[in-house]
Amino acid sequence: DARKNMFFKNDKSIDYFHTAVDCCRKLITPKFTINDGEDFGVILFGTKPPAGDILMCKNVELILNLEKANLEKFNALLEFNSKIQEDKNYMEEKLLSDAFSLSDALFFCCRTFSSSCVKYTNKSIYLFTSDWNPHQDNSAEQQNVRVKAKDIADLNIELHLFPMGEDFDVSVFYQEILEIGNWPVPSPVEKFGDIINRIESSKCVKSRLCKVTWKIGENVSIGVGFYNFFRKARMPKKEKLCRSTNEMVHSVRQCYAQNSGAILLPTDIEYTVKRGGENIVFTPVSIFTPVTKYIREFLELIE
């Protein structure tokens, strides 16, 4: 939420918006340091420029694309946060819009998931807002939010609400929205550490290692799930770097024809075994089947 209500400062002179951005920065840091394979994106609603013309979503802006976390995304998030703090004109021009649509923001999140080429097993939306009754004077927009919440539940996307501010009343509007998808109804939170702990705890619930089921009788069984709440940090895989520029080096393997020097495609290569003075040709598919694995040591590569 990038509207005026999110820029209310608490006792420590830190507004809710920058607290939410700091949470994103905290969450994105371990993703590219330990390479845990999770994708991450940031979307703002309540912005002034009408972004997303293709998706027909006004007052919604994509800050970070949904992709693997890296150092560039981390620096972009830091630059965005510092620019808002230092340049008040930028904040007035880009954020603090009175016109917004929560249903458009949720629709934008769904389209971001569907437009990705990655098939996600777990999809979550973390909603940071301090407005406990959005569209209070527009019953049609509130109904659109209910419909979109039903669509999110049908797509197996989990919606996690982070009510910013101690006076946030979840029962006014969001409790009904969360009950549509049987999502947990949270209590108000505004401290940075409490938000991080709540996010990490929600992720641990989904990381079931295995399940053991005991069958008591016909159509009656009891299951116990095993979860991992603490683990050793996984080190990133080794990468080859150029000695002079320190850039990542990618190795490419090419096969060339012995006579002409032309590049050979995988379809141009045949694997053969010589028996009785003749070459028996195998296709690239059949060469790696269990039937032929015992004669690979006799194979010869020819053009």
Q: Which whole number is the average pLDDT over 50-61? A: 61
pLDDT digits (tens, 9 = 90+) for 216-226: 888 888 888 87
| Pairing, β 208-217 against β 220-227 | antiparallel
Helix (H) or strand (E) holding 42: strand 39-45
**CA 116 – CA 66 distance, rounded (Å):** 8
Residue 3 has pLDDT above 60, yes or no: yes
SS3 track for 112-126: HHHHCCCCCCCEEEE
- Burial label, 245 (beta-carbon count in 10 A; 0-12, 13-18, 19+): exposed
**CA 131 – CA 159 distance, rounded (Å):** 16
Residue 54 has pLDDT above 50, yes or no: no
Phi, psi (degrees; rounded to nearest 5) at 120:
-90, 135
Residue 170 has pLDDT above 80, yes or no: yes
Q: Are 284 and 266 in contact (CB under 8 A)?
A: yes
Confidence of residue 56 (pLDDT cuts 50, 70, 90): low
State the pLDDT at residue 284: 63
**CA 169 – CA 187 distance, rounded (Å):** 9
Across 44-53, 76-85, 161-170, 235-244, least confident range: 44-53
The CATH number given to 4-203 is 3.40.50.410
Q: What 3-state DSSP class applies to 2?
A: coil
- Going from N- to C-terminal start, the domains of the chain cover 4-203, 266-302
Q: What 3-state DSSP class applies to 15?
A: strand
pLDDT digits (tens, 9 = 90+) for 244-268: 888 878 888 888 888 888 888 877 7
The pTM (predicted TM-score) of the whole model is 0.62
State the pLDDT at residue 300: 47
Q: Which of 104-113, 273-282, 288-297 has the highest mean pLDDT?
A: 104-113
